[in-house]
Amino acid sequence: MSRKSAWILISILMIMVLTLTACKPAGTVEEPVAEEPVAEEPAVEETEVQEVTEAPVTEAEPLTVGLLLVGPANDAGWSQAHFDSMAYVQEKLPGTELLYLENVYTGSTAHTQTPAELAADMAAKGAKVVIFNSDDQKDNAIKFAQENPDVYVIHASGDSAWKEGKNYVDLPNLKNIMGRMEYGKMIAGCAAALTTQTGKIGFLGPLINDETRRFAASSYLGAKYCWTEYLGKDPADLEFKVTWIGFWFNIPGVTLDPTQVSDDFFNTGYDVIISSIDTTEALTEAKKFAADGKQVWAVPYDYEGACEGANDVCLGVEYFNWGPSYVAALKSIQDGTWESSFELVGPDWADINNPDTSMIGFNKGGALSADNAAKIDQFISELGGGLNLWTGPINLQDGSTYLADGEVATDLQVWYLPQLLEGMEGQSE
């Protein structure tokens, strides 16, 4: 092959470019997302209470939102919770355009570009605000925010915008939003403790960091509380084991296989798995084991519809409801009140499943007995009534004191929990 033919190939490619792009005037990228049927949103029930928050925004210019999903939009977990919230956003803020990409994570084979680069392209396509939906994209979110001061950045689950936090970066265009999932995890732990027959609860953890330690510990606190207070059992008889797979979801060759980890739990006497990864392997495996006649259950995570398909082994799901927070953030951009902030949003204790007000919810699963369901309701109302399980005495896994007797943990203490707690089995870092 000669240089000449190389040039010929280039010219042919160029001609292809020209003819193909000539088919339609460039720049009219349609928004297929808007045409997609709005994913089933059973929880959306218009309530009159919300009238107040619906300030007239008619003259506000519609925004284009970029959304980088760490996983697939239909993962029945973390990413789907985000993706579905966009339908809520578009309903509340008509005209909002969505650009989204799936599988945006470190080493993803779906993209040759880093999240920051993908975000830059979204901005070039007109996105005024980009949502980075994962802890995995944290550095990229910061980098992008630094390099694109004109674009608003929302990083879900991060702490870079928390002035009091350990990782504060002064970036006026960066906002963190996260839910107080500690409560959701406590409810999940409670459901697990109420249901377990063997007294052994498995916690299917993603990677290890502040967030995941916090949630694993919350699950344990909830489990221990219900185990002792509602069932009157000895806390020493409750086994709570954490296994981390190494990432938010399965990456073959890099992480442990969550299916395998779930199987191992069920095969070694753990009859309830609390999942804290983005995807639903634990529930799937529970269903498989149940079909073989074993008495096992699982608590999935993140997405309100996660129990679907395996409801008869599902004890319920603690989920995020991102919609209202995103609506508020977008509105603040439209009306010019945006501020860099760290937003830690709790449940609406009046009704934790209210789609317009509650960031954290819990949908009971079909496998939760009526008796236990009543206890869960009781637990939720206790929490709403001021019960704080992050109250001393609590020791860390290595036996050192975390909270002295009667001491109540601050948000900072909870967020940056340095280790798992005493009584939990599993790696702390």
Interface characters, 75-114, with another protein (x: CB under 8 A): ------------------------xxxxx-xxx-xxxxxx
To another protein, the closest distance from the beta carbon of 390 in angstroms equals 19
For residue 241, state whether it binds another protein (rule: CB under 8 A).
no
Considering only 251, 373, 387, 403, the residue that binds another protein (CB under 8 A) is 251
Considering only 44, 57, 207, 387, the residue that binds another protein (CB under 8 A) is 207
DSSP assignment, residue 229? Answer: I
For residue 328, state whether it binds another protein (rule: CB under 8 A).
no
Q: Are 88 and 355 in contact (CB under 8 A)?
A: yes
Q: Between 117 and 382, whose beta carbon lies closer to another protein? A: 117
By CB atoms closer than 10 A (0-12, 13-18, 19+), residue 384 is: middle
For residue 13, state whether it binds another protein (rule: CB under 8 A).
yes
For residue 170, state whether it binds another protein (rule: CB under 8 A).
no
The letter for the amino acid at 63 is L
Residue 383: count other Cβ atoms within 10 Å of its Cβ.
22
DSSP assignment, residue 145? Answer: H
To another protein, the closest distance from the beta carbon of 21 in angstroms equals 6
By CB atoms closer than 10 A (0-12, 13-18, 19+), residue 41 is: middle
Q: Between 26 and 52, whose beta carbon lies closer to another protein? A: 26
Considering only 3, 59, 337, 405, the residue that binds another protein (CB under 8 A) is 3
Report the C-alpha gap between 419 and 292 in whole angstroms.
Answer: 37
Considering only 208, 231, 328, 373, the residue that binds another protein (CB under 8 A) is 208
Nearest to 310 by CA among 284, 277, 342: 284
Considering only 144, 247, 266, 379, the residue that binds another protein (CB under 8 A) is 247
Asked, as a colleague might, if the bond just before 393 is cis with ω within 30 of 0, I would say: yes
Q: Are 297 and 367 in contact (CB under 8 A)?
A: yes
Nearest to 151 by CA among 141, 136, 160: 141
Q: Between 16 and 291, whose beta carbon lies closer to another protein? A: 16
Report the C-alpha gap between 320 and 372 in whole angstroms.
Answer: 22
For residue 34, state whether it binds another protein (rule: CB under 8 A).
no
Considering only 15, 16, 350, 412, the residue that binds another protein (CB under 8 A) is 16
Query: Would residue 330 be called left, alpha or beta, if left means φ above 0 and alpha means ψ between -120 and 50 degrees?
Result: alpha
By CB atoms closer than 10 A (0-12, 13-18, 19+), residue 163 is: exposed
To another protein, the closest distance from the beta carbon of 347 in angstroms equals 27
Q: Which residues pair with 361 in a beta bridge?
A: 319
For residue 28, state whether it binds another protein (rule: CB under 8 A).
no
For residue 255, state whether it binds another protein (rule: CB under 8 A).
yes
For residue 136, state whether it binds another protein (rule: CB under 8 A).
yes
To another protein, the closest distance from the beta carbon of 92 in angstroms equals 23
For residue 26, state whether it binds another protein (rule: CB under 8 A).
yes
Q: Are 383 and 186 in contact (CB under 8 A)?
A: yes
Considering only 10, 38, 39, 408, the residue that binds another protein (CB under 8 A) is 10
Q: Are 198 and 365 in contact (CB under 8 A)?
A: no
Looking at 72-133, which runs of residues are DSSP E strands? 97-101, 129-132
Q: Between 36 and 54, whose beta carbon lies closer to another protein? A: 36
Residues that bind another protein (CB under 8 A): 1-6, 8-10, 12-13, 16-17, 20-21, 23-24, 26, 29, 32-33, 36, 99-103, 105-107, 109-114, 117-118, 120-121, 124-125, 135-136, 138-139, 207-210, 213, 244, 246-247, 251, 253-255, 418, 427, 429
